[in-house]
A and B are shown apart, each in its own frame.
Chain A
Amino acid sequence: MIRKNTCHLIFLITISFLFLLGGCKESEIHYSHAKHIERGLKDCNTCHLYQEDLEPKWPKMAKCLTCHMKDFNPNKPESCLLCHTKPGMKIKVKHNIPKKYQDLKFTHKVHLENNIACNQCHKGIEKSDAITLDLIPDMFGGCIPCHKERGEEKIACDVCHKHIKKNRMPLYHEDRWVKHDDPRWIQKHGNEFYYSEDYCKRCHADLNWCVNCHQDQKPRNHNNAWRRKTHGFAASWERKKCMACHQEDFCVRCHENTTPLSHTASWGGVNTRNRHCLNCHFPVSMVSCTVCHPSPEHPSAGSSPHPPFVGNCTQPGCHPAGRAGEPPHPKPAGIQCTVCHPQ
């Protein structure tokens, strides 16, 4: 068994890593702000040319070559590797704002006009040895504290966001839809939570919304009929859906203390055909008695002598009139079954 499990695990890990490798993207350039600053290039404008219009630009290769011409030999592709990660690779530095920031109304110009230093937002850039996501300002660590100092009105969502407003919920984050206004969102939000729990926490602090809905507020289809009857159907089809909010003890507590709708006066009455007996003599896989009676015991009733109710009964001698449901003996008028079958 252990070997089988290990194989399972190895298989899964292998597949996962193949998947990862398939999607692994190398950084397209080697670049160290730290080394350039060490060599005296302390003015960001030298490379990013923002002083004219206050909008920093991505440096073009020609700009780099003003210093690196001596290192570059067009006849030696390996000389490209000083900056490029692969020889001959065309650099596609994204001049546009990455998708995940498309919701932002951000401009460098406003910040530069307010004398915000580059490294005030791009924290640690002067010590960085590579171009990484860490260099992009963090909203909670970088933007909000600074905005807060400039007044409460500067921290409203729509100061920076196009779509997220006081009364409008987020549409996406990190290139993924989180369309809260989609009526099916309620069934998708669980995936998003596990994808990025921290993202949810930004608005749903303490995850109290989870508790509010999953422990206290019923879904709209949990109506009276659901409570009385139909929840059993749904649970029999897909119990995993129940597990989103419920655990076993919730169900057990109610079932142990509530009489099912089917247990009416005719359920086991003397003048009826004892429907509860008949139900229990269906194959175990066909009955739901075990929901409340996990280990039903009634030794006086005995076991059914045949596979129950598959096709027509061919033993008319057992049940009067050949009908299943009638006891296999005459039913004495006026005497309760429990007189002979005390259990």
Chain B
Amino acid sequence: MSIPKILGIFSICIMISSLVHFAQAENITVQTDNTTGTITGLTESSGFTYKDFISGSFRAQYEGRWAEGEEDHDMYEYFRFRTKDFYNDKISIAGFGRLSEDFDGHEPKDGAFRDILDTYEHSVNGRIYYLYADIKDPVIDKSSLRIGRQYEYSLETILFDGVRYEQQIGPVGTYAFGGLRFSQYSNAYFDTVAGSGVAFRPLMDTRVTLDYVHIEDDEFDDDEVGVNVWHKVYDDLNFYGRYTLLDTLPKDFLVKLSWDKIDWDANVQVSYYRFLHSLAEHSNNISPFYEILGSFKPFDLISLTGYKGFGEKFGVSSGVDYRRLIDEDDENTFNRDYNRSFISFMINNVLLRESKFAFTLEYWNIEGIDHSADLSVDFDKKIGKFDIGGGTGYSVYKYNFIGSNDLAAVLDDEYTRDIEQKINVRTYYLRVKYSLSKHSDVGMQWLTEVSDTDPETYHQLLLSYSRNF
């Protein structure tokens, strides 16, 4: 597909979106930019009002990819909306979905651009991430009912079609949900989920939640229970603890201390996590990728992270993770010991106003055999209606099968290249966003990647148009 043709289709999408949008609201709306994460306003629930009955956003994005004679052209449209409360201010409706089109059909199974969308039958695919109605105080006061496709974030992240009811009973918050599990990637025909929970404050500085979830996924029938405790130990010191049971067996627990010294613009977190029992195949939401990676073996993970700001312009984050299998005999390709560390610097508004610079370095050391290092630099600057950014990243992966030192003695290069690999990946990108109005913008991003994989050189172009309404 030629570039002019792609741009023509893109222009048509922009025009369609302009027709689709509702009367422009003058008030503040929500907009997220995944690159900079800038909030440009708050939401209806924060007390802001919209003149229009429906508010939301539309985004159209073209993605073109080129690599050594191969190319791929896709289009994505995102639509998100929420209505104001209607029917005696009791009901509102919200939804979010995506439409994707693969202009040049499916990639071959060994194609350079093969990805999850190529596994579907059609080139045009739609997803409904959520679509639900909220009903305030449906039966009694201090309650709410949500009906439709929705996400549940408690013990596990669950997408389901069903109902969720919340009720505040004095100081205790309660909820219950149930319905049919849904997945964008597999058939969840008549798989069911249900759950409930309570949240309360037994002491002024303590919050406790107790959650339960039940998932039926084909032959798997899982029950999970978890208790979470947050407690303010002292002025700047917070404690968090979690303990979960899966099918009556202890699954894991986590304790974390967080010291947040606002006056010093600093914080430190130390945590200890223990995964208690080997986990094999379970329902899709709980399974630790068993079908791909096999059993998930018990381990300990100790983490220490910290942040320190230096005035308004400088900040440093750093941290280390230390992971060890509880039983050394469990060690295999997919259950490993590792040490991980990172450090990142951020510099805001130095030399250039409204500029942001971030530098991040991350290093993984897996049993002294595998290594990975990531280095990235990102710069962002606002110039009038333009938001210009760019950066580069370098990653190196040095990977061996366990015990490959012995293998090297008996294998020649033809085999060791499968077991000893060093892959360098370099990326360079540039992005520009231009605000057409308070509510719309167009964006462009170009990325070039050079790596030791096949294809070695890869280019990506993103063109986008966004509109809030």
Which residues in A have some Cβ–Cβ distance to B below 8 Å? 1-2, 5, 8-9, 12, 16, 19-20, 22-25, 27, 99, 102, 132-133, 140, 144-145, 147-148, 152, 155-157, 166-169, 172, 175-177, 179-186, 188, 191, 193-195, 197, 201-217, 220-221, 223-230, 233-240, 242-243, 246-259, 261-263, 272-273, 275, 278-279, 282, 284-288, 290-291, 294, 309-313, 323-325
Contact = CB atoms under 8 A, between A and B. Distances in A.
Interface string B240-265: 11010100111001001010101000
Given A175-B235, A206-B130, A229-B453, A212 B399 contact: no
A147 to B, nearest CB: 7
B82 A206 contact: yes
Nearest to A1: B249
Contact of B284 (A236, A248, A279): A248
Nearest to B236: A175
Contact of A224 (B202, B309, B451): B451
B278 interface: no
Nearest to B56: A208
Contacts of A148: 47, 49
Given A176-B238, A184-B307, A213-B34, A238 B342 contact: no
Given A206-B82, A251-B292, A255-B292, A169 B39 contact: yes
Contact of A261 (B44, B185, B374, B453): B453
Contacts of A247: 157, 183, 185, 284-285, 287
Nearest to A283: B403
A180 B238 CA distance: 19
A80 B52 CA distance: 60
B34 A235 contact: no
A233 B287 contact: no
Interface string B107-122: 0011010111011000
B346 A208 contact: no
Contacts of A201: 45
B95 to A, nearest CB: 9
Interface in B298-321: 305, 307, 309, 315, 317, 319
Nearest to A260: B110
B18 interface: no
Nearest to B460: A224
Contacts of A221: 374, 393, 395
A175 B46 contact: no
Contact of A203 (B39, B291, B407): B39
Nearest to B38: A167
A237 B366 contact: yes
28 contacts: A16-B229, A16-B241, A23-B239, A27-B204, A145-B47, A155-B48, A166-B41, A183-B344, A202-B45, A221-B393, A223-B449, A224-B67, A225-B452, A236-B336, A239-B296, A243-B288, A251-B289, A252-B292, A259-B109, A275-B415, A282-B407, A285-B332, A291-B293, A309-B406, A309-B410, A310-B403, A312-B410, A323-B412
Contacts of A309: 406-407, 410-411
Given A235-B334, A253-B186, A228 B454 contact: yes
B423 A257 contact: no
A12 B253 contact: yes
B360 to A, nearest CB: 6
Contacts of A234: 372
Interface in B48-74: 48-49, 65, 67
Given A133-B204, A223-B427, A325-B415, A23 B262 contact: no
B443 interface: no
A20 B255 CA distance: 13
B3 interface: no
A235 B376 contact: no
A206 B395 contact: no
A215 to B, nearest CB: 6
B129 interface: yes
A203 B183 contact: no
B80 A252 contact: no
A288 B46 contact: no
Contacts of A156: 28
Interface string B410-425: 1110110011000101
A144 B453 contact: no
A191 to B, nearest CB: 7
A255 B186 CA distance: 13
Nearest to A5: B250
Interface string B391-410: 00101010101110011011
Nearest to A98: B235
A330 to B, nearest CB: 19
A202 B46 contact: yes
A175 to B, nearest CB: 6
B241 to A, nearest CB: 6
Given A233-B370, A252-B186, A325 B411 contact: yes
Nearest to A23: B233
A165 B203 CA distance: 33
Contacts of B423: 225, 229-230
Contact of B260 (A172, A202, A226, A246): A172
Contact of A176 (B94, B243, B258): B258
B47 A25 contact: no
B151 A279 contact: no
A10 B408 CA distance: 51
Interface string B86-115: 000000001010100000000001101011
Given A147-B47, A183-B360, A235-B334, A225 B153 contact: no
Nearest to B342: A184
Nearest to B234: A23
Interface string B336-367: 10101010101010000000101010001010
Nearest to B283: A248
A304 B305 CA distance: 47
Contacts of A237: 336, 338, 364, 366, 370, 372
Contacts of A223: 393, 425, 427, 447, 449, 451, 458
B27 interface: yes
B198 interface: no
Contacts of B184: 215
B152 to A, nearest CB: 10
Contact of A205 (B43, B228, B235): B43
B207 to A, nearest CB: 8
A203 B42 contact: yes
B47 A210 contact: no
A294 B374 CA distance: 32
A206 B148 CA distance: 13
Given A16-B241, A236-B334, A286-B333, A259 B453 contact: no
B406 A310 contact: yes
